[in-house]
Amino acid sequence: MTAVETTREDFAALLDESFGSADTQEGSVVKGIVVAIEKDLAIIDIGLKTEGRVALREFAGPGRENTIQVGDEVEVYLERVENAMGEAVLSRDKARREESWIKLEKAFTANEKVFGVIFNQVKGGFTVDLDGAVAFLPRSQVDIRPIRDVGPLMHNQQPFQILKMDRRRGNIVVSRRTVLEETRAEQRHELVQNLEEGQAIEGVVKNITDYGAFVDLGGIDGLLHVTDIAWRRVNHPTEVLNIGQTVKVKIIKINHETHRISLGMKQLLGDPWEGIEAKYPVNARFKGRVTNITDYGAFVELEPGIEGLIHVSEMSWTKKNVHPGKIVSTSQEVEVQVLEVDSAKRRISLGLKQTLQNPWEAFAEKYAPGAVVEGEVKNKTEFGLFLGLDGDVDGMVHLSDLDWNRPGEQVIDEYRKGDMVKAVVLDVDVEKERISLGIKQLAGDPFADAGEVKKGAVVTCEVSDVKDGGIEVKLTGTDLSAFIKRSELARDRNDQRPERFSVGDKLDARVTLFDRKARKVQVSIKAMEIAEEKEAVAQYGSQDSGASLGDILGAALKQRAGAEKED
């Protein structure tokens, strides 16, 4: 073999090897040299005696400019070694995408941040260019708080965290919020380390809510609760604070785990509760302003930072079941009396009614027992009547004090709500707030005015009612009434008939029971006849002497009749 033949064989082998390697490079990223720039195209030599054209726009992109020049070495994606025009088919975009995916996969595996540029807004979020690879940024992952204007964030390179990757589908989901939260947590941790409980610091009111205000302490927020703004009652933080206002606060508590900071403004001022017992002694009276009204009472401000509670039971002597708002009103100035001071619990109990005269004491001074008063029937109950009296107090007439003779359950039906009624004051118990009244006492006690009525006496009675079981009678000359049962109407059974009497008839009867304490009186015609019979027998003889009972009674009756004629 000649030298020329050897050279040809070697060249052919090298050429085959070269073309063979080119075949293996299709579908991969190769390096090339920019040999020329024509209008909007770059001519790139990738070796192998092959050149290709790439649009200049592929060398630019979101957040980066086209700075390609002749002689620059660039990486391009080789799709085919030769097309119909004999040129290589190249792509800078695909090269960058391939290169970017490799880097992104490594970053995703290592949980590292990547840099990209938000360049477009789509449904549900935004698209981000991660140096050639396009990722989706959900709207919820843009910032820690919802933002209205995303303009300042567009077309600026910034860090992102990859949440999900799927190379087969070409999907990448990133988050900007995660990076911000991590950065913020680092900053908060560093700031919290430089703060101490008890430290006084200035801050700016950032946000106001119903329960307090958030104060920016230079990169970290602290909560100033509404109860820690001032010693006095603050119904809403806007009464004292405005957004953007610079305030001096004291750090009350720091939670190093959650990085939550509790702040206070009132703690920088003197505690008005120190020495409170000496300033507001029990039973002393002061003036204050009503600041708040609840179902159970009203709060009164005695001085800034010092409030006391008037419990509903201490608001009025007489209005027991009334809402406090019907007795006092907000901002009203009232005089109160100190009832109790508890400095440990920071409580002062106040009384409003104690500054007014006790109406039961006033009534007792004006009306002694036995005095006659007049009042309106306010209520009827199962145990008596309630009358409205002077001083807005009520007095009670018990059922037993309605009538001397009739049961109270029967008499109370005669009274109606709103009736004006007179009564006698029986007793006033100031401590128990009770006034006892009596209506029957207006007429006097018939047992006290019974005169000569006593057990065994014969009295004249007038029939007031005739019933099947007997007759109702009234003792003449008294206010006493009695009921004579059928069996007591006569000694003779045949005469024990109520119908033989009429209303208005007068008759004599003997008193068989007279009990002042039990308030009972009983009379009997039968007892009187038996007593007269015994007396006649004793005076005119007995049946043993031969005289009949008729003879004896006849003589006694004649004597009695003669005595009546002489009278």
Identify whether the C-beta of residue 261 lies closer than 8 Å to the C-beta of residue 223.
yes
Among positive and negative, which fits the CA dihedral 157, 161, 163, 169?
positive
Cβ burial of 381 (10 Å; 0-12, 13-18, 19+) is exposed
Cα–Cα distance measured from residue 178 to residue 197, given in angstroms and rounded to the nearest whole number: 30
Highest mean pLDDT among 129-143, 195-209, 338-352: 338-352
**Domains of the chain listed by start with CATH number:** 27-110 (2.40.50.140), 111-181 (2.40.50.140), 195-268 (2.40.50.140), 276-351 (2.40.50.140), 359-438 (2.40.50.140), 457-537 (2.40.50.140)
Q: How many CA atoms lie within 13 A of 249 on its CB side?
A: 31
Highest mean pLDDT among 47-56, 182-191, 276-285, 451-460: 276-285
pTM of the model: 0.47
Q: Is the pLDDT of residue 79 over 90?
A: no
What pLDDT digit, counting tens, does each position of 150-188 carry? 888 888 889 999 999 887 787 889 999 988 888 777 777
The better pLDDT of the pair 65, 405 is held by: 405
What pLDDT digit, counting tens, does each position of 239-261 carry? 999 999 999 999 899 887 777 88
What pLDDT digit, counting tens, does each position of 412-453 carry? 999 999 999 999 999 999 989 899 999 988 877 777 667 678
**Average pLDDT in the chain:** 82
Q: Is the pLDDT of residue 35 over 80?
A: no
Cα–Cα distance measured from residue 364 to residue 432, given in angstroms and rounded to the nearest whole number: 13
Tokens for 87?
């040129």
Cα–Cα distance measured from residue 398 to residue 20, given in angstroms and rounded to the nearest whole number: 126
Tokens for 428?
């006033």
150 closest CA partner among 194, 109, 118: 118
Instruction: Give the lowest-confidence range in 82-86, 275-279, 335-339.
Output: 82-86
Cα–Cα distance measured from residue 342 to residue 276, given in angstroms and rounded to the nearest whole number: 9
What pLDDT does 398 receive? 93
Tokens for 326?
């019907």
* pLDDT classification of 107: cutoffs 50, 70, 90: confident
Q: Is the pLDDT of residue 27 over 80?
A: no
